[in-house]
Structure 1
Amino acid sequence: MPTTRETILTALADLLRTIPHVPVLRGEVLPERIPPAGLMILRDGTPGEPGVTLSPLTYHFQHRAELEMIVRSATDRDALFDALVAQIGAVITADRTLRGLCDWVEPEAAEPVDLPVEGAASLKAGIIPITLHYATSDALG
């Protein structure tokens, strides 16, 4: 049986997969080729030190995952990047509790980076920190 942490991270990846045409990988290495619509990679991040209540024994996590996103375009990569950020925000806003699996999902602003590459198309990448608030009786998350 998966941990609460794994169940929530899987649900977040599934939610992100509802964005059309943009593949979502989970904890994978960056592939050599980026699809034309872009790519997202969900990194597990760190659950941090939980708060604890004793009756009943419950661990309250503020788990910080990271979502890497990369777009590729010769002309409009800034617009593509911005559109993908907006889509990510919209799908998370539509289901902040991942169908009741966690208390709250809170994305932060994207941290963009321009990546020059050889050839006509250039890349723009960014990391969106996502805090997952959840409680569990398992100290390991």
Structure 2
Amino acid sequence: MPMSRETILAALHARLSALPATALRGEVLPERVPVEGLLILRDGEPGEPEVTMSPLAYHYQHRAEIEAVVQGAGRDAAFDTLTASVGKALAADRTLGGLCDWVEAEAPRPVDLPVEGAATLKAAVIPVVLHYSTDDPLGG
């Protein structure tokens, strides 16, 4: 059954919201990073679809992004825990309850970001590929 992009992204955000870290969608990085870490879902790009004609369907490999951020003295271990929890949440149901054909994360590339007057941040973007089909590229 074809699903809309918004339904799929909302389901992905709900899955991230069930984790101990704070999960936001499309927000700017707040001044304070919660102790448990921070995840910010970016809607990303659906890309060019493959099209089948009978029945008409547009098959997307939509690339969303999850920004993962931790701060503090134990940031390396906290970052590993945070990214592993994202991986486990996605692996628990690779179809987001049947909304997608497949969901798969790619490896993050972490960086340490100095913050003037505060503990250094450890952050990375985790690309997430959402495979889904829709019968309308504007409604889907």
Q: For this structure pair, what is the TM-score category when the shorter chain's length is used for normalisation?
A: over 0.9
Query: What residue is the counterpart of 1:70 in the other structure?
Result: 69
SS of corresponding position for 2:15: helix
- Please give the per-residue CA displacement for 1:79-104, whole angstroms capped at 9, x wherever unaligned: 10011111000010001000000100
Shift of 1:68: 0.2
The one-letter code matched in structure 1 to 2:113 is: L
Query: What residue is the counterpart of 1:47 in the other structure?
Result: 46
Unaligned runs of 5+ residues in structure 2 are: none
The one-letter code matched in structure 2 to 1:23 is: T
1:43 and 1:67 in contact (8 A); partners too: yes
Identity %: 65
Query: What residue is the counterpart of 1:56 in the other structure?
Result: 55
Shift of 1:135: 0.4
The one-letter code matched in structure 2 to 1:16 is: L
Q: How many residues matched?
A: 137
Query: What residue is the counterpart of 2:18 in the other structure?
Result: 18
| Alignment TM-score, normalising by the size of structure 1 | 0.93
Cα RMSD after superposing both structures: 1.1
SS of corresponding position for 1:88: helix
- Structure 2: how far apart are the matches of 1:5 and 1:117? 35
SS of corresponding position for 2:84: helix
1:59 and 1:136 in contact (8 A); partners too: yes
Unaligned runs of 5+ residues in structure 1 are: none
1:93 to 91, 99, 112: 91
| Alignment TM-score, normalising by the size of structure 2 | 0.94
The one-letter code matched in structure 2 to 1:82 is: D
